[in-house]
Amino acid sequence: MDHHLECIGCRARYPSIETAYACKSCGDLLEVSYDYDDLRESVNASLWKSRPLSVWRYEELLPLDKGSVKVSLGEGGTTLHRAARVGKLLGLNDLYVKNEGENPTGSFKDRGMTLGVSKAVEIGAKKVACASTGNTSASLAAYAAKAGLESIVVIPHGKIALGKLAQAIAHGARVLQIEGNFDDALKAVLRLAQSNTSLYLLNSVNPYRIEGQKTLAYEIWDQLERKVPDTVIVPVGNAGNISAIWKGFQDLSQLGLISHLPRMIGVQAQGASPITEAFRRGQCRIRPVQNPETIATAIRIGSPASWKKALRAVKGSGGLMETVTDEEILDAQKFLARLEGIFVEPASGSSIAGLKKLVEAGAIGKDENVVCVTTGHGLKDPEIVQRMFEKPITVKADQRSLEIALGLNR
Ligand SMILES: *Cc1c(COP(=O)(O)O)cnc(C)c1O
Ligand SMILES: [Zn+2]
């Protein structure tokens, strides 16, 4: 599809085949951009309803050439749950949870990887690589397997949730654990990809990944019967996803399909919150956090690559950034699981925890239409539950012992 890459800083333009991950003249991030006059002609939104709800329902808005192979595992089409019981707990009448844990490898990363790995195949790459806090590596490994590409993942040693590491290994990725955190891993693999062009990098500095992830916004709009929510709340780590969702809503607006935009709210963990700090201080640059710390490993990032895009999303939408503590995250993870039957990993609990905090502070009104994005499945990180929640008790295998344990004895 006709598009080019554009620098978000100096607005330099590059042809669509360019595999650079940063602007050659100023070093800033690139984004995919389109001629919206052309798109308005070619997009027929009523046609979308005849296709299954999925990333590829919106293929006219995805930058892949017509004849190219789509490397797909059935991504997107996740449930938008009406969360009446959590709504009641928090005093909200119109709350929804978009559960991205339902994706093929259990996180929203699959939306980006289906497009990113398809792009890799289109340009003839044989090896794909990423740095990861876990879910990106699980997703990359699975899509690379499907496409028959070699995958290389660089992860922080000892800090990856067990389920995610198991996925990367199972799908046959070459897993390199580094001494250092995610920020160090990304820096290293970015340099590696810049000097070894046989490696196609699929972190969110690759603008094609963001394009896949923007379909989250299209689906929310479709699932609300083509209405725009008042507020969308997203956990923020490296900040690609909130930027992607905002881009998706902006596309709909550019195409004249919606007449207003939602407020974007990003939630970071207190020990890893450089974007929230910059937002609060009214600064236009972040100060990276040297040693980010939180139990929510998927957002344990001190130097988010897409901070500038995220600040633009939040400010441009009249939204805000919030932080939550590990305790608030675990509490939200638990009450979401127990009131709605939705089991998410800790990072995803942060959007729910942020919602609770903002309702209590009066920043979200009781009749607002709010969509919380839960980003990853709870089974990714079973150790957190074993460690932090109630422990099961052990009893003898007879009726009497069970009755005593359950308080059923009169
Ligand atoms: C990747 C990830 C995030 C953070 O998303 P960014 O795009 O890095 O901000 C949050 N939650 C989960 C479960 C993730 O896998
Ligand atoms: Zn530039």
How many C-alpha atoms does 375 have within 13 Å on its Cβ side? 32
Residue 122 forms part of a structural domain: no
Task: Please say if the pLDDT value at position 19 is more than 90.
Answer: no
Task: Please say if the pLDDT value at position 96 is more than 90.
Answer: yes
376 beta partners:
107
The predicted pLDDT at position 223 comes to 98
Q: Is the CB of 373 under 6 A from ligand 1?
A: no
Query: How does residue 404 score in pLDDT terms, banded at 50, 70 and 90?
Result: very high
Q: What share of the chain is helix, strand, coil (3-state, %, to 5)?
A: 45, 15, 40
Q: Is the CB of 231 under 6 A from ligand 1?
A: no
The predicted pLDDT at position 2 comes to 87
Q: Report the candidate in 163, 162, 172 with the shortest Cα–Cα distance to residue 128.
A: 172
Residue 126 forms part of a structural domain: no
Q: 155 and 133 in contact (C-beta within 8 Å)?
A: yes
Query: How does residue 90 score in pLDDT terms, banded at 50, 70 and 90?
Result: very high
User: For residue 285, how far is its CA from the centre of ligand 1 (angstroms)?
Assistant: 21
User: For residue 37, how far is its CA from the centre of ligand 1 (angstroms)?
Assistant: 33
Q: Is the CB of 132 under 6 A from ligand 1?
A: no
For atom 15 of ligand 1, the residue with the nearest CA is 135
User: For residue 404, how far is its CA from the centre of ligand 2 (angstroms)?
Assistant: 69
Tally Cβ neighbours within 10 Å of residue 89. Answer: 15
Task: Please say if the pLDDT value at position 200 is more than 80.
Answer: yes
User: For residue 314, how far is its CA from the centre of ligand 2 (angstroms)?
Assistant: 22
Residue 202 forms part of a structural domain: no
Q: What is the mean pLDDT of residues 106-112?
A: 98
Q: Is the CB of 235 under 6 A from ligand 1?
A: yes
Residue 281 sits in a domain whose CATH number is: 3.40.50.1100
The predicted pLDDT at position 18 comes to 78
Compute the mean pLDDT over every residue in the chain, rounded to the nearest whole number: 96
Task: Please say if the pLDDT value at position 289 is more than 80.
Answer: yes
Q: What is the mean pLDDT of residues 63-82?
A: 97
User: Which ligand places an atom closest to the C-alpha of 329?
Assistant: 1
The predicted pLDDT at position 162 comes to 93
Task: Please say if the pLDDT value at position 382 is more than 70.
Answer: yes
Tokens for 170, please give them. 């199972």
Mutate to test the pocket of ligand 1, among 275, 299, 307 (most ligand atoms within 8 A of CB): 299
Q: 203 and 305 in contact (C-beta within 8 Å)?
A: yes
Task: Please say if the pLDDT value at position 410 is more than 70.
Answer: no
Q: Report the candidate in 239, 241, 56, 209 with the shortest Cα–Cα distance to residue 130.
A: 209
Beta-strand pair 13-14/4-7? antiparallel
Question: What's the total number of domains in the chain?
Answer: 1
What is the crossing angle of helices 326-340 and 346-360, to 10°?
A: 100
Give residue 255's domain range: 80-106+209-388
Q: What is the mean pLDDT of residues 84-99?
A: 98
User: For residue 239, how far is its CA from the centre of ligand 2 (angstroms)?
Assistant: 19
User: Which ligand places an atom closest to the C-alpha of 20?
Assistant: 2
Q: What is the distance between the alpha carbons of residues 7 and 177, in angstroms, rounded to a whole number?
A: 32
Q: What is the distance between the alpha carbons of residues 73 and 105, in angstroms, rounded to a whole number?
A: 9
Q: What is the distance between the alpha carbons of residues 388 and 105, in angstroms, rounded to a whole number?
A: 24
- Residue 163's H or E segment, with its range, is helix 162-170
Residue 203 forms part of a structural domain: no
Q: What is the distance between the alpha carbons of residues 116 and 130, in angstroms, rounded to a whole number?
A: 11
Task: Please say if the pLDDT value at position 355 is more than 90.
Answer: yes
Residue 196 forms part of a structural domain: no
